[in-house]
Amino acid sequence: MYKQNKLLILILMIGAFGIINTEMGVIGILPYIAERFDISVSRAGWLVSLFALTVAVSGPTMPLLFSGINGKKAMLLVLGVFVVSNIVAIFTSNFAVAMIARVIPAIFHPVYFSAAFTIAAESVHKKEAPKAISKVFIGVSAGMVLGVPIASFLASAISYQISMSFFAIVNAIVFVAILAFFPSMPVKEKLSYGAQLSVLKKPAIWLSIGAVILLNSAVFGVYSYLAEYLGTVTRMSGSWISIMLAVFGGANIIGNIVAGKLLTNNANRSVVVFPFVLGFVYLLLLLLGQFTVPMAIITVFWGILAGIAGNINQYWITSAARKAPEFANGLFLASVNLGTTIGTAAGGLFISTWGNPYVVWVGILSLILSAVFIMLRISLYDPVKSVSRQ
């Protein structure tokens, strides 16, 4: 049983990689997309922003609608949609069709991750759930780190079609693996939509959503402009910027592993401490960001904390709605995407108003506000003695 559970979690992790790779990998081939459809790069960027916006909207609703469906069938449906949509994107020469081929899988995106997080948590002992979930997050980080360079390399070395084929092939492999190795996963206890929606009546869930939006705003409000910051403030060359982005991504994967252990040992304390630790790193960034070596060291710790953040966000919302895990995971996905949107917009505003160095203040201010939401929930709704995940 232990070996089977490890295999299931590995497949879930690769599936997470495939889906995030499809979402983020497009960033690396926007110039090729623009050339193929004879449009501007900025218009091609709609394929990225529209995908994220669709996920944010469908996050709470789709997992709710699929909460009564066999988990294996739900994931096979999602992966099937991704494979077909990727194939359509390979052959279409119409940009409107390409947009539709992005929106449709984005609608189903939250269904896979909601099921994956729930299945990973239920495949191990309750105390080990954070570690299992953190392994799924490794797939998310790998998709973000590797998706862009792999897609870009394939498009430049071979063709746009081969790059898009890579997305389809990874998702197809996971589809076959789930079909072959996953047992049937019927819903053990089907909750009514009303019972799941009732978690929204709890003030703790809204405090958790607010905290998660702000935490993700703190991470991505600054990270989204890391390349520009390294170029204009630290004055690194293009090759060194690429290396630093890869370092950040690798550290992000390490952060997922660390997060599993932290949340297993003492979840609430980890959540409470996190904004202050990341805030300290951002203060160092303000003071030392113009120096190459300190900036490289800061990037490592920042990347680790960014990996921890995703796990903390997922735990913080699902721990406030344990009786409706699929719906809670949907709320998590919507919250982090909304946080990314808000943080990125705020970062752009700070840069255009005061300059590149001031983007760090988006992270610091978001962390201060997130700490307020976290403390309110801890003091009002979480007993002091209940400091562990158990």
Which residues, in sequence order, are CB contacts of 170 under 8 Å at separation 6+?
14, 17, 18, 21, 22
Give mean pLDDT, residues 2-23: 88
Whether 190 shows a pLDDT value over 80: the answer reads no
pLDDT at residue number 125: 85
Is there a shared CATH topology between the 2-181 domain and the 193-381 domain? yes
Which residues, in sequence order, are CB contacts of 384 under 8 Å at separation 6+?
none
**Domain regions of the chain by residue span:** 2-181, 193-381
Half-sphere exposure (Cβ direction) of 197: Cα atoms closer than 13 Å: 7
- Fold of the 193-381 domain: Growth Hormone; Chain: A; (1.20.1250)
What is the DSSP secondary structure assignment for residue 127, as one 8-state letter? G
Reported as a single tens digit per residue, the pLDDT across 90-114 is: 999 999 999 999 999 999 999 999 8
Give mean pLDDT, residues 194-223: 93
Inter-CA distances, 213 with 292, 339, 340, 369, Å: 31, 4, 8, 10
N residues, the chain: 390
Helices and strands: H and E segment counts in the chain: 16, 0
Q: For the ranges 44-48, 80-84, 164-168, 368-372, which has the lowest average pLDDT?
A: 44-48
CB under 8 Å, gap of 24 or more: what pairs does 262-266 form?
262/130, 262/308, 263/130, 263/134, 263/311, 263/312, 263/315, 263/389, 264/127, 264/128, 264/130, 264/131, 264/389, 265/388, 266/387, 266/388
Q: Which CATH superfamily is domain 2-181 in?
A: MFS general substrate transporter like domains (1.20.1250.20)
b/e burial code for range 49-78 (CB count within 10 A of at least 16 → b):
eebbbbbbbbbbebbbebbebebbbbbbbb
